[in-house]
Amino acid sequence: MSGSDNADDDIQKLREQRKAEIMNEIGKKRNPGVTVVDELNFRAFISENRFSVLDVWAEWCGPCLRVAPVIEEFSGKIAFGKCNADENQNIAASFAISAIPTLLFFSEGKLINRVTGAYPKEALEKQIRSTFPGI
């Protein structure tokens, strides 16, 4: 690989990192307390938070919109992230996600539960409370 190939790779990484930062800021303005998660910040998101829930969704998915009210209620108690499955196919594949919405529950960086489908708000709240007792 030549020096210019390395420089091009570095520039591309910087562009992707800046895009992730901008998307995260946009996500905070739309829904404070929610982190936009992608392949660049995924590991940091799950490891830096004791309890975290990752909502794997897509813009075209109507049922995915039902998760928002639950996120708002638990904001501040649990770290919530939204990961667009279309834009982050490696994350979706690594967890064998074949349907959305899928919520992935992490404790100290380890996957401990998952919920797939459009559950009513009360059922999602119950899943969160049983997965993370005491919150």
Q: Which residues are catalytic?
A: 61, 64
Nearest to 95, CA basis, from 17, 29, 37, 23: 37
User: Which string of b and e fits 5-16 if b means at least 16 CB within 10 Å?
Assistant: eeeeeeeeeeee
42: Cβ contacts below 8 Å, ≥ 6 apart: 54, 83, 88, 91
32: Cβ contacts below 8 Å, ≥ 6 apart: 75
Instruction: For CA atoms 87, 90, 95, 97, give the dihedral sign.
Output: positive
Note whether 103 and 57 are within 8 A (CB).
Answer: no
